[in-house]
Amino acid sequence: MGRHVNQLHESEITENEKTELNKLKAMEEYQNNLIKLKQRRGEKGSSDPISVDCQCQLNDYKVILFYRYVSIKDPLQFALDHQHYCKDMTGKVRIASEGINATLAGTNKDIDLYLNWLTSSQPFKDLEDITRDDPLQLSDPSAPRYKFFKPSEGCIHIFADLSIKLTDEICPLGQKTVVLDKLSNPDHRLGKLAPQDFHNILSKRHQDDFLLLDTRNYYESKIGHFEGAVKPAIRKFSQFPDYIDRNKEAMRGKKILTYCTGGIRCEKATAYMRQVLPQDTEIFMLDGGIHNYIEWCKSNKNQMEDDPVWQGKNYVFDARQSLCLNNGSVVSTCQKCNTRWDQYNKCSTTGCHLLVLLCDNCSLQDDKVFCCEDCKNNQQTGLCKCEQQRRIEELETI
Protein backbone atom coordinates (compact mmCIF):
# COMPACT_ATOMS: atom_id res chain seq x y z
CA MET A 1 0.00 0.00 0.00
CA GLY A 2 2.80 2.37 0.96
CA ARG A 3 4.72 1.55 -2.24
CA HIS A 4 1.58 2.18 -4.30
CA VAL A 5 0.94 5.51 -2.67
CA ASN A 6 4.55 6.67 -3.08
CA GLN A 7 4.75 5.56 -6.72
CA LEU A 8 1.40 6.85 -7.98
CA HIS A 9 0.45 9.70 -5.61
CA GLU A 10 3.77 11.30 -4.72
CA SER A 11 2.95 14.58 -6.51
CA GLU A 12 -0.41 14.81 -4.74
CA ILE A 13 1.23 14.22 -1.35
CA THR A 14 3.88 16.83 -2.07
CA GLU A 15 1.22 19.35 -3.16
CA ASN A 16 -0.86 18.68 -0.04
CA GLU A 17 2.22 19.13 2.15
CA LYS A 18 2.97 22.46 0.45
CA THR A 19 -0.62 23.58 0.94
CA GLU A 20 -0.58 22.72 4.64
CA LEU A 21 2.81 24.38 5.05
CA ASN A 22 1.54 27.55 3.36
CA LYS A 23 -1.49 27.54 5.66
CA LEU A 24 0.78 27.27 8.70
CA LYS A 25 2.99 30.09 7.41
CA ALA A 26 -0.05 32.26 6.71
CA MET A 27 -1.42 31.56 10.19
CA GLU A 28 1.95 32.37 11.76
CA GLU A 29 2.21 35.62 9.77
CA TYR A 30 -1.35 36.54 10.77
CA GLN A 31 -0.58 35.98 14.46
CA ASN A 32 2.70 37.93 14.25
CA ASN A 33 0.95 40.89 12.58
CA LEU A 34 -1.82 40.75 15.17
CA ILE A 35 0.69 40.82 18.05
CA LYS A 36 2.68 43.69 16.52
CA LEU A 37 -0.41 45.81 15.86
CA LYS A 38 -1.72 45.34 19.40
CA GLN A 39 1.46 46.00 21.34
CA ARG A 40 2.29 49.23 23.17
CA ARG A 41 3.58 52.17 21.13
CA GLY A 42 6.52 52.84 23.43
CA GLU A 43 8.16 51.83 26.67
CA LYS A 44 6.00 51.89 29.77
CA GLY A 45 6.36 55.27 31.46
CA SER A 46 7.29 57.04 28.22
CA SER A 47 5.23 59.89 26.78
CA ASP A 48 4.78 61.92 23.61
CA PRO A 49 6.60 65.20 22.92
CA ILE A 50 4.72 68.46 23.64
CA SER A 51 6.87 70.89 21.67
CA VAL A 52 8.16 71.07 18.12
CA ASP A 53 11.15 72.88 16.63
CA CYS A 54 11.68 72.50 12.88
CA GLN A 55 12.20 74.57 9.74
CA CYS A 56 9.47 72.99 7.62
CA GLN A 57 7.52 75.09 5.13
CA LEU A 58 4.06 74.58 6.59
CA ASN A 59 2.32 75.35 3.30
CA ASP A 60 3.69 72.03 2.02
CA TYR A 61 2.12 69.99 4.84
CA LYS A 62 -1.14 69.43 6.64
CA VAL A 63 -2.57 67.55 9.61
CA ILE A 64 -5.87 65.69 9.40
CA LEU A 65 -8.10 64.64 12.30
CA PHE A 66 -11.01 62.29 11.70
CA TYR A 67 -12.96 59.30 12.97
CA ARG A 68 -15.81 57.09 11.91
CA TYR A 69 -17.86 54.57 13.83
CA VAL A 70 -18.50 51.94 11.17
CA SER A 71 -18.27 48.15 10.87
CA ILE A 72 -14.84 47.17 9.55
CA LYS A 73 -14.95 43.65 8.12
CA ASP A 74 -11.21 42.94 8.31
CA PRO A 75 -9.53 45.28 10.85
CA LEU A 76 -6.16 43.54 10.54
CA GLN A 77 -5.96 43.97 6.75
CA PHE A 78 -7.23 47.56 7.09
CA ALA A 79 -4.38 48.25 9.53
CA LEU A 80 -1.82 46.61 7.23
CA ASP A 81 -3.10 48.74 4.35
CA HIS A 82 -2.57 51.81 6.53
CA GLN A 83 1.03 50.79 7.11
CA HIS A 84 1.51 50.96 3.34
CA TYR A 85 -0.40 54.15 2.56
CA CYS A 86 0.84 56.07 5.61
CA LYS A 87 4.49 54.95 5.50
CA ASP A 88 5.80 58.49 4.82
CA MET A 89 3.55 60.16 7.40
CA THR A 90 3.53 60.46 11.19
CA GLY A 91 0.66 60.29 13.62
CA LYS A 92 -1.70 57.90 15.37
CA VAL A 93 -4.25 55.55 13.83
CA ARG A 94 -6.54 53.39 15.96
CA ILE A 95 -8.55 50.68 14.21
CA ALA A 96 -11.17 48.35 15.67
CA SER A 97 -14.15 46.39 14.41
CA GLU A 98 -16.22 49.45 15.43
CA GLY A 99 -14.33 51.96 13.24
CA ILE A 100 -11.26 54.17 12.89
CA ASN A 101 -9.81 57.12 14.81
CA ALA A 102 -6.85 58.95 13.27
CA THR A 103 -4.64 62.01 13.41
CA LEU A 104 -2.04 62.07 10.64
CA ALA A 105 0.57 64.57 9.49
CA GLY A 106 2.19 64.54 6.07
CA THR A 107 2.90 66.41 2.87
CA ASN A 108 -0.09 67.68 0.93
CA LYS A 109 0.61 65.09 -1.76
CA ASP A 110 0.84 62.16 0.68
CA ILE A 111 -2.31 63.21 2.55
CA ASP A 112 -4.31 63.58 -0.68
CA LEU A 113 -3.14 60.20 -2.01
CA TYR A 114 -4.02 58.55 1.30
CA LEU A 115 -7.49 60.09 1.42
CA ASN A 116 -8.25 59.11 -2.16
CA TRP A 117 -7.45 55.50 -1.23
CA LEU A 118 -9.25 55.67 2.11
CA THR A 119 -12.50 57.02 0.67
CA SER A 120 -12.58 54.13 -1.80
CA SER A 121 -12.05 51.50 0.92
CA GLN A 122 -14.83 49.35 2.41
CA PRO A 123 -15.53 51.46 5.54
CA PHE A 124 -15.97 54.68 3.52
CA LYS A 125 -17.52 53.70 0.20
CA ASP A 126 -21.02 54.67 1.34
CA LEU A 127 -20.09 58.28 2.22
CA GLU A 128 -20.95 59.84 -1.12
CA ASP A 129 -20.57 63.42 0.11
CA ILE A 130 -16.84 62.95 0.79
CA THR A 131 -16.03 60.42 -1.96
CA ARG A 132 -17.55 62.55 -4.73
CA ASP A 133 -16.54 65.94 -3.37
CA ASP A 134 -15.02 68.27 -5.95
CA PRO A 135 -12.23 69.17 -5.53
CA LEU A 136 -10.94 66.05 -3.78
CA GLN A 137 -8.11 68.05 -2.18
CA LEU A 138 -8.77 69.61 1.21
CA SER A 139 -8.94 73.19 0.00
CA ASP A 140 -12.56 74.31 0.45
CA PRO A 141 -13.61 74.86 4.12
CA SER A 142 -17.29 74.62 3.16
CA ALA A 143 -16.93 71.20 1.48
CA PRO A 144 -18.07 68.01 3.29
CA ARG A 145 -14.66 66.41 2.71
CA TYR A 146 -12.90 69.32 4.44
CA LYS A 147 -15.30 69.25 7.41
CA PHE A 148 -14.97 65.49 7.81
CA PHE A 149 -11.16 65.26 7.76
CA LYS A 150 -10.59 68.55 9.64
CA PRO A 151 -7.26 69.71 8.17
CA SER A 152 -5.04 72.06 10.16
CA GLU A 153 -1.56 73.54 9.94
CA GLY A 154 1.35 71.35 10.99
CA CYS A 155 4.16 69.16 9.67
CA ILE A 156 5.38 65.60 10.25
CA HIS A 157 7.44 66.68 13.26
CA ILE A 158 4.42 67.19 15.51
CA PHE A 159 4.54 63.42 16.13
CA ALA A 160 7.59 61.36 17.07
CA ASP A 161 6.62 58.55 14.70
CA LEU A 162 3.78 56.69 13.02
CA SER A 163 1.68 54.47 15.31
CA ILE A 164 -0.96 52.17 13.83
CA LYS A 165 -2.72 49.95 16.36
CA LEU A 166 -5.53 47.43 16.54
CA THR A 167 -7.69 48.11 19.59
CA ASP A 168 -10.94 46.94 21.16
CA GLU A 169 -12.35 50.50 21.01
CA ILE A 170 -11.24 53.44 18.88
CA CYS A 171 -12.16 55.71 21.79
CA PRO A 172 -12.03 53.72 25.05
CA LEU A 173 -15.11 54.39 27.17
CA GLY A 174 -15.02 50.92 28.72
CA GLN A 175 -18.78 50.34 28.46
CA LYS A 176 -19.80 47.19 26.59
CA THR A 177 -23.38 48.45 26.21
CA VAL A 178 -22.30 51.36 23.98
CA VAL A 179 -22.00 49.35 20.78
CA LEU A 180 -21.87 50.24 17.11
CA ASP A 181 -25.59 49.59 16.53
CA LYS A 182 -26.49 52.32 19.02
CA LEU A 183 -23.95 54.76 17.59
CA SER A 184 -25.45 54.16 14.13
CA ASN A 185 -29.04 54.59 15.30
CA PRO A 186 -30.84 57.42 13.41
CA ASP A 187 -32.15 58.83 16.72
CA HIS A 188 -28.57 59.16 17.95
CA ARG A 189 -27.61 61.13 14.84
CA LEU A 190 -30.49 63.54 15.38
CA GLY A 191 -28.73 64.81 18.50
CA LYS A 192 -25.92 66.44 16.50
CA LEU A 193 -25.85 70.22 16.33
CA ALA A 194 -24.06 72.13 13.58
CA PRO A 195 -21.57 74.75 14.88
CA GLN A 196 -23.93 77.62 14.07
CA ASP A 197 -26.88 76.01 15.90
CA PHE A 198 -24.61 75.22 18.87
CA HIS A 199 -23.39 78.82 18.92
CA ASN A 200 -26.90 80.25 18.69
CA ILE A 201 -27.99 78.31 21.76
CA LEU A 202 -24.94 79.33 23.79
CA SER A 203 -25.06 82.97 22.75
CA LYS A 204 -28.55 83.38 24.21
CA ARG A 205 -26.90 82.99 27.62
CA HIS A 206 -29.95 81.24 29.11
CA GLN A 207 -27.72 79.02 31.24
CA ASP A 208 -30.61 77.80 33.37
CA ASP A 209 -32.26 76.26 30.33
CA PHE A 210 -29.42 73.86 29.57
CA LEU A 211 -26.36 72.20 31.00
CA LEU A 212 -23.17 72.60 28.97
CA LEU A 213 -20.87 69.63 29.54
CA ASP A 214 -17.23 69.27 28.49
CA THR A 215 -16.48 65.57 27.87
CA ARG A 216 -12.69 66.01 27.60
CA ASN A 217 -9.94 65.55 30.19
CA TYR A 218 -9.22 68.16 32.84
CA TYR A 219 -5.93 69.35 31.32
CA GLU A 220 -7.70 70.00 28.01
CA SER A 221 -10.55 72.06 29.45
CA LYS A 222 -8.11 73.97 31.68
CA ILE A 223 -6.61 75.88 28.73
CA GLY A 224 -9.79 76.27 26.68
CA HIS A 225 -13.56 75.80 27.03
CA PHE A 226 -16.95 77.24 26.20
CA GLU A 227 -18.21 79.89 28.56
CA GLY A 228 -20.26 78.44 31.42
CA ALA A 229 -19.30 74.81 30.77
CA VAL A 230 -19.17 72.15 33.47
CA LYS A 231 -15.65 70.70 33.26
CA PRO A 232 -15.25 67.31 34.98
CA ALA A 233 -11.80 66.78 36.51
CA ILE A 234 -11.34 63.43 34.77
CA ARG A 235 -7.92 62.29 33.57
CA LYS A 236 -9.12 59.81 30.94
CA PHE A 237 -12.34 59.23 29.03
CA SER A 238 -13.08 55.88 30.69
CA GLN A 239 -13.76 57.83 33.91
CA PHE A 240 -16.63 59.73 32.28
CA PRO A 241 -19.38 57.11 32.88
CA ASP A 242 -18.69 57.14 36.64
CA TYR A 243 -18.97 60.92 36.60
CA ILE A 244 -22.35 60.72 34.89
CA ASP A 245 -23.57 58.05 37.31
CA ARG A 246 -22.68 60.27 40.28
CA ASN A 247 -24.54 63.24 38.81
CA LYS A 248 -27.71 61.63 37.48
CA GLU A 249 -30.05 63.63 39.70
CA ALA A 250 -28.50 66.96 38.75
CA MET A 251 -29.00 66.09 35.07
CA ARG A 252 -32.55 64.80 35.36
CA GLY A 253 -34.90 66.51 32.89
CA LYS A 254 -32.23 68.91 31.61
CA LYS A 255 -31.29 69.86 28.09
CA ILE A 256 -27.63 68.81 27.94
CA LEU A 257 -25.17 70.12 25.35
CA THR A 258 -21.86 68.27 25.07
CA TYR A 259 -18.64 68.94 23.21
CA CYS A 260 -15.14 67.54 22.72
CA THR A 261 -12.17 68.11 20.40
CA GLY A 262 -13.43 66.53 17.17
CA GLY A 263 -16.66 64.72 18.08
CA ILE A 264 -15.47 61.16 18.70
CA ARG A 265 -15.82 61.25 22.49
CA CYS A 266 -19.21 62.95 22.39
CA GLU A 267 -20.52 60.18 20.15
CA LYS A 268 -20.00 57.63 22.93
CA ALA A 269 -20.64 60.03 25.80
CA THR A 270 -24.10 60.99 24.54
CA ALA A 271 -24.94 57.36 23.70
CA TYR A 272 -24.08 56.33 27.26
CA MET A 273 -26.04 59.24 28.74
CA ARG A 274 -29.13 58.29 26.75
CA GLN A 275 -28.92 54.82 28.29
CA VAL A 276 -28.61 55.86 31.94
CA LEU A 277 -30.43 59.21 32.22
CA PRO A 278 -34.25 59.57 32.33
CA GLN A 279 -36.02 59.66 28.97
CA ASP A 280 -37.10 63.28 29.43
CA THR A 281 -33.44 64.36 29.35
CA GLU A 282 -32.57 66.03 26.02
CA ILE A 283 -29.00 65.32 24.95
CA PHE A 284 -27.09 66.98 22.13
CA MET A 285 -23.49 67.18 20.88
CA LEU A 286 -21.45 69.66 18.85
CA ASP A 287 -21.00 67.95 15.48
CA GLY A 288 -17.32 67.97 14.48
CA GLY A 289 -16.31 69.21 17.92
CA ILE A 290 -14.38 72.34 18.85
CA HIS A 291 -12.26 71.98 15.73
CA ASN A 292 -15.19 72.50 13.34
CA TYR A 293 -16.63 75.20 15.60
CA ILE A 294 -13.38 77.20 15.30
CA GLU A 295 -13.43 76.68 11.52
CA TRP A 296 -16.99 78.02 11.46
CA CYS A 297 -15.88 80.99 13.57
CA LYS A 298 -13.18 81.89 11.03
CA SER A 299 -15.90 82.21 8.38
CA ASN A 300 -18.16 84.26 10.67
CA LYS A 301 -15.72 86.73 12.24
CA ASN A 302 -18.18 89.60 12.60
CA GLN A 303 -20.68 87.49 14.49
CA MET A 304 -17.98 86.06 16.71
CA GLU A 305 -16.52 89.44 17.64
CA ASP A 306 -19.93 90.60 18.77
CA ASP A 307 -20.75 87.48 20.73
CA PRO A 308 -17.79 85.18 21.59
CA VAL A 309 -18.59 82.03 23.54
CA TRP A 310 -15.34 80.10 23.09
CA GLN A 311 -12.52 80.98 25.47
CA GLY A 312 -8.87 79.96 25.22
CA LYS A 313 -7.32 77.27 23.05
CA ASN A 314 -8.31 73.85 21.74
CA TYR A 315 -5.93 71.23 23.17
CA VAL A 316 -4.60 68.68 20.64
CA PHE A 317 -2.71 65.44 21.30
CA ASP A 318 0.52 66.27 19.51
CA ALA A 319 3.55 68.52 19.87
CA ARG A 320 1.58 71.63 18.84
CA GLN A 321 -0.34 71.36 22.15
CA SER A 322 -3.23 73.52 20.98
CA LEU A 323 -5.01 75.31 18.15
CA CYS A 324 -6.75 78.63 18.59
CA LEU A 325 -8.93 81.31 17.05
CA ASN A 326 -7.05 84.55 16.28
CA ASN A 327 -4.27 83.63 18.72
CA GLY A 328 -6.88 82.90 21.38
CA SER A 329 -7.42 84.37 24.81
CA VAL A 330 -5.50 82.87 27.72
CA VAL A 331 -7.85 81.47 30.38
CA SER A 332 -5.38 79.50 32.52
CA THR A 333 -2.52 80.55 34.79
CA CYS A 334 0.93 79.44 35.88
CA GLN A 335 0.40 77.19 38.88
CA LYS A 336 3.29 78.84 40.72
CA CYS A 337 2.95 82.62 40.16
CA ASN A 338 -0.61 82.87 38.71
CA THR A 339 0.58 84.69 35.59
CA ARG A 340 -1.68 84.11 32.58
CA TRP A 341 -0.19 81.03 30.91
CA ASP A 342 -1.36 78.14 28.72
CA GLN A 343 1.77 76.30 27.54
CA TYR A 344 2.29 72.92 29.18
CA ASN A 345 5.49 71.30 30.42
CA LYS A 346 5.73 67.73 31.74
CA CYS A 347 6.61 66.62 35.23
CA SER A 348 10.17 65.27 35.20
CA THR A 349 9.52 62.52 37.74
CA THR A 350 9.88 59.07 36.18
CA GLY A 351 6.47 57.57 35.48
CA CYS A 352 4.52 60.75 36.33
CA HIS A 353 4.53 62.94 33.20
CA LEU A 354 1.56 65.00 34.44
CA LEU A 355 1.12 68.17 32.40
CA VAL A 356 2.19 71.27 34.28
CA LEU A 357 1.28 74.91 33.58
CA LEU A 358 4.52 76.63 34.53
CA CYS A 359 5.56 79.91 32.89
CA ASP A 360 9.03 80.46 31.48
CA ASN A 361 10.20 82.55 34.43
CA CYS A 362 9.13 79.94 36.98
CA SER A 363 10.57 77.11 34.88
CA LEU A 364 14.00 78.77 34.95
CA GLN A 365 14.09 78.67 38.75
CA ASP A 366 14.65 74.90 38.77
CA ASP A 367 16.66 72.53 36.60
CA LYS A 368 13.59 70.36 36.08
CA VAL A 369 9.82 70.79 36.03
CA PHE A 370 7.71 69.13 38.72
CA CYS A 371 3.95 69.03 39.11
CA CYS A 372 4.08 69.31 42.92
CA GLU A 373 6.38 69.22 45.95
CA ASP A 374 5.88 65.47 46.33
CA CYS A 375 7.42 64.85 42.92
CA LYS A 376 10.12 67.48 43.46
CA ASN A 377 11.21 65.88 46.73
CA ASN A 378 10.62 62.33 45.46
CA GLN A 379 8.18 61.65 48.29
CA GLN A 380 5.35 59.93 46.44
CA THR A 381 3.63 57.16 48.36
CA GLY A 382 1.50 56.01 45.45
CA LEU A 383 -0.15 59.25 44.27
CA CYS A 384 1.51 62.65 44.25
CA LYS A 385 -0.20 65.64 45.87
CA CYS A 386 -1.65 67.16 42.70
CA GLU A 387 -3.07 63.83 41.52
CA GLN A 388 -4.70 63.37 44.93
CA GLN A 389 -6.25 66.84 44.57
CA ARG A 390 -7.51 66.05 41.08
CA ARG A 391 -9.26 62.93 42.37
CA ILE A 392 -10.98 64.97 45.06
CA GLU A 393 -12.20 67.46 42.43
CA GLU A 394 -13.37 64.61 40.19
CA LEU A 395 -15.78 63.48 42.90
CA GLU A 396 -17.38 66.93 43.21
CA THR A 397 -21.01 66.98 42.00
CA ILE A 398 -22.64 69.45 39.64
Q: Which residues are catalytic?
A: 260
> Which DSSP string do the residues of 355-398 spell out, in sequence order?
EEE--HHHHTTSSS--SSHHHHTT--SSS-HHHHHHHHHHT---
Question: Closest by alpha carbon to 358, among 374, 373, 376, 346?
Answer: 346
Question: How far apart (Å, rounded) are the C-alpha atoms in residues 244 and 398?
Answer: 10
C-alpha 314/C-alpha 330 separation (Å) is 11
Amino acid at residue number 363: S
Rg for the chain, CA atoms, rounded:
24
Distances (CA, A) of 260 to 67, 164, 233, 270, 285: 13, 23, 14, 11, 9
Beta bridge partners of 66: 102
Cα dist. 120→74, 91, 114, 295 in Å? 15, 21, 10, 26
- Which residues neighbour 250 within 8 Å (Cβ) at sequence distance 6 or greater? 211, 397, 398
User: Residue 75's closest CA among 92, 104, 95?
Assistant: 95
In 80-230, the DSSP E strands lie at 90-96, 99-107, 162-166, 192-193, 211-214, 224-226
